[in-house]
Amino acid sequence: MKDGMNSRILLDSAKTCILASSPVFRRQQFLIRCVGGSIDHQPHSRDMQTLRSLEVDSESVIRAITPALDPTRHKGQAGNIAVIGGCREYTGAPYFAAISALKIGADLSHVFCTKDAAPVIKSYSPELIVHPVLEESYSVGEECKRSISSKVVAEVDKWMERFDCLVVGPGLGRDPFLLDCVSEIIRHARQSNIPIVIDGDGLFLVTNNVDLVSGYALAVLTPNVNEYKRLVKKVLTSEVNDVDAPQQLLSLARQIGGVTILRKGNSDLISDGDTVKAVSIYGSPRRCGGQGDILSGSVAVFLSWARQHILAADSNINHSCKNPTVLGCIAGSAILRKAASLAFLNKKRSTVTGDIIECLGKSLEDICPAS
């Protein structure tokens, strides 16, 4: 009897050791520490009530801002999007963002990347217009940095007026010279009044230099849990407060001067400093890398469509919020979640980012039929 009990104790101890050493367990503990919380799988009823009160009718937003397919329109009028990103290490992220923009319905999608990344990204799809103009420190001598930086910015600048939105950050990397060039590109986009969606390493850049977007109402930040934690610590000099997440997000957006922030999570929270909206449509339990890139490309297109409709004299948007950045975030969040759900229905555990991208068109068609 004693031997059996000892065996069970040893077995339980072994299981505990295996669990504690597993990557999944370590990631769970890391995330819990990041948000400063404890293990609690059941949302508090007050939190659920708050989210329900903030939940927006995302499908009505999508239907309102998605333009009809009109044979009298010409190429580019349904959206001309540019992704600033792509370096030696990261070529998938800019492709995912740019191709998602096309799958949503943009007419043209550009990628401005480094020379090393360009052939790889071009090989993924002939649909993208790829500009190999960005440079990294390793290929630039100290004495040439100023002239090459000016050349890089000028190459992007000559296209700027054609774009309806920039997506800055997917696959950008953190090379100092490259980030300096992109900082200048952001400043030029602001001067041209071009909307900017900032994701990935673009958020690393902006978190360390908030003035790049501070006070720019056409800027959208799309942080994940760790990016949001760094942003809150930098701007609000505090820790993330999940107990009163909407109010903290509102304060953060106000503190940065009215930019729109899409805080990614179990429910996506969106704020421009005046209002907070939530998108809680069920997506997918599969968390493959690249979904944030789909989101940034999707938000860029919907933002540009919302802006066109709001600026048009015959705008039919009856939604209480008329900020195109907020509307773009609502629509982008919802369409990604629907596409992820549809892809998971078919692929289950094998779902990858490409599967979700292929479901974007059907997800939009189900909400807003083309015919």
Give the pLDDT score at 81. Answer: 98
Task: Quick: pLDDT tens for 285-315.
Answer: 999 999 999 999 999 999 999 999 888 755 5
Is 299:260 a contact under the CB 8 Å cutoff?
Answer: no
pLDDT above 70 covers a percentage of the chain that reads 84
Task: Quick: pLDDT tens for 189-230.
Answer: 999 999 999 999 999 999 999 999 999 999 999 999 999 999
Tell whether 12 is in a known binding site. Answer: no
Residue 8 predicted with pLDDT over 70: no
Task: Report which of 170, 190, 189 is spatially closest to residue 293, judged by C-alpha positions.
Answer: 170
Tell whether 267 is in a known binding site. Answer: yes
Tell whether 349 is in a known binding site. Answer: no
Give the pLDDT score at 16. Answer: 47
Tell whether 284 is in a known binding site. Answer: yes
CA pair distance 288, 356, nearest whole angstrom: 10
Tell whether 264 is in a known binding site. Answer: yes
DSSP characters over 303-367: HHHHHHHHHSTT----SS---HHHHHHHHHHHHHHHHHHHHHHHHGGG--HHHHHHTHHHHHHHH
Give the pLDDT score at 207. Answer: 98
Reported as half-sphere exposure (CB side, CA atoms, 13 A), residue 116 has a value of 14
CA pair distance 118, 130, nearest whole angstrom: 6
Residue 17 predicted with pLDDT over 80: no
Is 313:288 a contact under the CB 8 Å cutoff?
Answer: no
Q: Hey, which residues does 270 pair with through a beta bridge?
A: 262, 277
Task: Report which of 324, 321, 326, 300 is spatially closest to residue 310, judged by C-alpha positions.
Answer: 324
| H-helix segments, the chain | 2-21, 23-35, 45-54, 58-65, 92-104, 118-124, 145-160, 176-191, 201-207, 225-235, 245-255, 291-311, 324-347, 353-358, 360-367
Q: List C-alpha distances in Å: 6 to 16, 17, 19.
A: 15, 16, 20
State the chain's mean pLDDT as an integer: 89
Residue 36 predicted with pLDDT over 50: no
Rg of the chain taking only CA atoms, in angstroms: 22
Q: List C-alpha distances in Å: 30 to 23, 55, 183, 266.
A: 10, 29, 31, 17
Task: Quick: pLDDT tens for 222-278.
Answer: 999 999 999 999 999 999 999 999 999 999 999 999 999 999 999 999 999 999 999
Quickly count: other Cβ atoms within 10 Å of residue 299's Cβ.
34
Tell whether 282 is in a known binding site. Answer: no
Give the pLDDT score at 26. Answer: 52
Task: Quick: pLDDT tens for 41-88.
Answer: 444 555 656 767 899 999 999 999 999 998 888 999 999 999 999 999
Tell whether 227 is in a known binding site. Answer: yes
pLDDT above 90 covers a percentage of the chain that reads 79
Is 303:323 a contact under the CB 8 Å cutoff?
Answer: no
Look at 344 and 9; give whichever has higher pLDDT: 344
Tell whether 288 is in a known binding site. Answer: yes
CA pair distance 134, 248, nearest whole angstrom: 36
In CATH, 75-366 is 1.10.10.10: no
Tell whether 224 is in a known binding site. Answer: yes
Tell whether 320 is in a known binding site. Answer: no
Look at 52 and 330; give whichever has higher pLDDT: 330
The phi-psi region of residue 44 (left if phi > 0; otherwise alpha if psi is between -120 and 50; otherwise beta) is beta
Give the pLDDT score at 322. Answer: 87
Is 93:200 a contact under the CB 8 Å cutoff?
Answer: yes
Tell whether 362 is in a known binding site. Answer: no
Terminal Cα distance for the chain, rounded: 74
Give the pLDDT score at 45. Answer: 54
Mean pLDDT for 136-150 is 93
Give the pLDDT score at 177. Answer: 97
Residue 1 predicted with pLDDT over 80: no
Tell whether 225 is in a known binding site. Answer: yes
Give the pLDDT score at 11. Answer: 45
Tell whether 105 is in a known binding site. Answer: no
Tell whether 318 is in a known binding site. Answer: no
Give the pLDDT score at 312. Answer: 79
Q: What is the pTM of this model?
A: 0.86
Mean pLDDT for 99-104 is 98
In terms of residues, how long is the chain? 371
Return all residues near 225 (Cβ < 8 A) that are at least 6 apart: 31, 34, 35, 264, 265
Is 35:259 a contact under the CB 8 Å cutoff?
Answer: no
Q: Hey, which residues does 129 pair with through a beta bridge?
A: 110
Tell whether 230 is in a known binding site. Answer: yes
Give the pLDDT score at 319. Answer: 58
Give the pLDDT score at 23. Answer: 55
Tell whether 200 is in a known binding site. Answer: no
Tell whether 208 is in a known binding site. Answer: no
Tell whether 37 is in a known binding site. Answer: no
Residue 25 predicted with pLDDT over 60: no
